[in-house]
Amino acid sequence: MAEGFCLTVGYMTPTFINKEEIIRLFQHADYKSNHYNKQTDAPAKTKTDHFFTPGSIRERQTEIGKSGQINQRRKETLEDKAFINLLCLFVCLVIEKGEKWLNEDDNVQTFVQMNQMIVDENSRCLRTCRDIANEKEETDPTTKDEGLNTEISETKPDLTSTVKGSVEYDNRKGNVEEVSTDISTMKDFIQTTERNYSTLSDQLETLTKSLTKKIKSLKKRNTEQDNKMEEMVRRQSVSETRTDSKFDDVMSELHTASEFIKYQTDMLSEKVKKCEECNETILKEHKILESNLKLNVDNLRKQIQSCQETTTNISTSVTQNKSSMESTLEKLQNKCTDIDEKIIQFSNDLDEMSTEMIEQKSNNTAECFCVGTGNIIAQDVKQDKIGTLFMVRFNLDATQNHYDTSTGTYTTPYDGLFLVSLMIENNFIGAVQIHVVTKDSSEEDYVRGVCKADSGATACTFFPLPLKRHEKLFLKGHVNYKHLVLGPNTTFSCILISKM
């Protein structure tokens, strides 16, 4: 099928014209132009040629010039028509390319390139149509045709009077009528061309608006696609980053695992070597032990035989010594009977002595006391006195009548030298410091000793202290303590060393 294009003529009805028809149009225009030129340049000779006057010759030359101008106009009109058809073809090709691009059949050009191409080609088509219109205005065929018709009408009477009745007159008259017909046809064609140009301009403007709307829509879609593409690229980047991170982690783990496996393999290889060496050593030692075992069994057999001989000798000697031992045993039994009687007598003497000691001890009871906190307690303690914490008496061989647990005060019954002891088990969050204080008849307090224990520690202090009769002994805190916690090993004791 021959290549062609779509053009619009008349009432803008699409018409398909191929290349052969375009060439034929140009050839037809050239043929008609040459035909009229031949008729004008070489007219048929008649018998009346020798009757032409100089005036008729000038008239004929004028007629020939006008006929050439008409033919030239016809040729230019046909060329403009063919050019307009080619311009329509170009517009159709641009529209077809735009539709293909809108249908996504052509992905070669980008949106910006397609937009620029449409703008450039639209401007080129409008500029070309404007140039054709300007050329037509410069050489308006209607005015020239009117002048041509006037000149023809003016020269027609002279021509009629000069060559009337001749054959050439008829031919010239036919040529003039044909030229007049062609001129009217050309006028109609020019008017049709102008209407087609106006319609084409409207179509181009409508197409431009439509393409502008589509371009805006495509810009919007392109923006959305760009945003989606950026989001996809961002997600892809995040996914690749995570994948790379996971891959690096897996590779590091694989590297660590391979190093660990290599280390384990080397270690197991060394252990296998050591086991093989141990097995060889065990086999050697087993052989040595078997040989030693045989030697020991032989030695044991020999020793058993010697023991049996020795046992036989011993049994013989025991039998011989039995008779002598029986007599010695009777002598020992008599001696044991005497010893039992002496032991019974000694036991009676001890009972009498213990009874006497108990009686003497009850008459000389030691003066002392020992008290403690018992279980773990938590109590608010003021600085003036903390002796009330010690409520539990320990089982001492003493009456402890002179220590008052309600006040925490010990009153000395007589003058003497006492040994004072204070032990603190500190379960408090901070350090605890307790003072051993005495008060005489002047009602003044004297610090005689200090015991300090850090948190979670146990401290003990003891010292000899001379006290007078009716002098008071008690404990005081260094500062006020809130929720003081002391352990069960906290004790306060005093014992008389000697009277004065």
DSSP calls for 237-254: HHHHHHHHHHHHHHHHHH
Last residue of a domain, one of 179, 206, 224: 224
State the average pLDDT over residues 64-76: 69
Residue 330 lies in a domain: no
User: Can you tell me whether residue 391 is helix, strand or coil?
Assistant: coil
CATH number at residue 403: 2.60.120.40
Last residue of a domain, one of 224, 250, 272: 224
State the average pLDDT over residues 350-366: 58
Higher pLDDT, 90 or 267: 267
pTM: 0.31
- Which amino acid type is present at position 72? Q
Q: Which of 146-160, 222-236, 239-253 has the lowest mean pLDDT?
A: 146-160
Residue 414 lies in a domain: yes
Last residue of a domain, one of 169, 204, 224: 224
Closest CA to 15 of 74, 100, 75, 84: 84
Residue 448: Cβ within 10 Å count: 15
For residue 341, the model assigns a pLDDT of 80
For residue 55, the model assigns a pLDDT of 52
Among left, alpha and beta (phi > 0; psi -120 to 50; other), residue 456 is left
Supply the DSSP string of 16-48, one letter for each residue: EEEHHHHHHHHHHHHHHHHHHHHHHHSPPP-TT
Residue 99 banded pLDDT, cuts 50, 70, 90: confident
CB 485 within 8 A of CB 448: no
Residue 260 lies in a domain: no
State the average pLDDT over residues 386-409: 75
Q: What is the average pLDDT score of the chain?
A: 74
Number of compact structural domains in the chain: 2
Residue 252 lies in a domain: no
Residue 38 lies in a domain: yes
Six-digit token pair at 252?
């590091």
Q: How many helices (H) and strands (E) in the chain?
A: 5, 14
Residues spanned by the domain of 113: 4-224
Q: Is 50 exceeded by the pLDDT of residue 39? A: no
Share of the chain above pLDDT 70, in %: 70
State the average pLDDT over residues 304-328: 81
State the average pLDDT over residues 163-183: 61
Q: Which of 138-142, 186-190, 402-406, 493-497 has the lowest mean pLDDT?
A: 138-142
Residue 328 lies in a domain: no
Residue 275 lies in a domain: no
Q: Is the four-CA dihedral 227, 230, 236, 242 of positive or negative sign?
A: negative
Residue 153 lies in a domain: yes
